[in-house]
């Protein structure tokens, strides 16, 4: 083997070891969207009474609404939910503490996704756990929604969070089949079966 062949092989090896910046960017953008979605969902758990008041003002039952309208049941549901939350918070303000913990729970779950953001190969399993949680969102929405009398349209909205959340996680898992960032070093063994 000549020196030229060795030099060519060395250059080829170096370029193969160099991380693909575009791939890293796409991975982190996708995982970042999931992360910020969890943070945004958590933030909306705190001002629940204000949010339902706004929804009720925009989409609730008001004078002049046609009760035969296709969206009448949606409007009625929004108004009933707002009234229930307003009444409950007025009479029993400590119930809001439960939704405060719901928001905090979203932040804690989001914190786990910082690890695969930093090291996509080592913490790839966290993406799998996230997918299981997304499937759990759908299961809980369908089961608890039926038990609690939640209208089907609202249950489907809740299910959509599990579906939409799974999309960036599946994409990140697909990208980590070929390591997207510099956490993989030459000689590392990569188990793609996780």
Residue 68's pLDDT is what?
82
pLDDT at 189: 44
Residue 180 is part of which domain span? 113-185
Q: For 78-136, what is each residue's pLDDT tens digit?
A: 999 999 999 999 999 999 999 999 999 999 999 999 999 999 989 999 999 999 999 99
- DSSP 3-state assignment of 121? coil
- pLDDT of 184 reads 39
The answer on 70 and 103 residing in a single domain is yes
Whether residue 119 is contained in a domain is answered as: yes
**pTM of the entire structure?**
0.76
Q: What is the pLDDT of residues 31-46, one digit of tens each?
A: 999 999 999 999 999 9
Do 136 and 86 belong to one domain? Answer: no
The answer on 124 and 85 residing in a single domain is: no
Residue 103 in contact with residue 46, Cβ under 8 Å?
Answer: yes
DSSP alpha helices (H): ranges in the chain? 3-17, 21-44, 48-59, 72-91, 96-112, 114-118, 124-148, 152-175
Distance spanning both ends of the chain, measured CA to CA: 39
Q: Is 93 in the same domain as 55?
A: yes
Q: Is 36 contained in some domain?
A: no
The dihedral region occupied by 70, where left means phi > 0, alpha psi between -120 and 50, and beta the remainder, is: alpha
Whether 137 shows a pLDDT value over 80: the answer reads yes
In a domain, 27, yes or no: no
Q: Is the pLDDT of residue 47 over 90?
A: yes
CA 189 → CA 105, 140, 165, distances in Å? 35, 38, 29
Same domain, 176 and 119: yes
């Amino acid at each position: 083997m000549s020196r030229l062949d060795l030099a060519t092989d060395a250059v080829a090896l170096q370029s193969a070891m160099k991380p693909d910046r575009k791939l890293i960017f796409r991975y982190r953008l996708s995982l970042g969207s999931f992360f910020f979605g969890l943070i945004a969902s958590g933030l909306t758990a705190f001002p629940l009474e204000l949010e339902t008041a706004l929804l009720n003002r925009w989409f609730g039952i008001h004078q002049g609404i046609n009760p035969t309208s296709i969206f009448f049941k949606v409007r009625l549901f929004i108004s009933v939910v707002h009234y229930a939350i307003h009444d409950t918070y007025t009479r029993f303000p400590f119930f809001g503490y439960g939704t405060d913990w719901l928001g905090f729970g979203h932040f804690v779950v989001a914190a786990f996704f910082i690890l695969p953001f930093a090291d996509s190969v080592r913490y790839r399993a966290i993406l799998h756990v996230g997918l299981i949680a997304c499937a759990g969102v759908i299961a809980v929405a369908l089961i608890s929604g039926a038990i609690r009398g939640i209208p089907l349209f609202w249950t489907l909205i809740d299910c959509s969070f599990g579906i939409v959340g799974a999309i960036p996680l599946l994409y990140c898992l697909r990208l980590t089949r070929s390591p997207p960032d510099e956490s993989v070093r030459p000689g590392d063994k990569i188990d793609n079966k996780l």
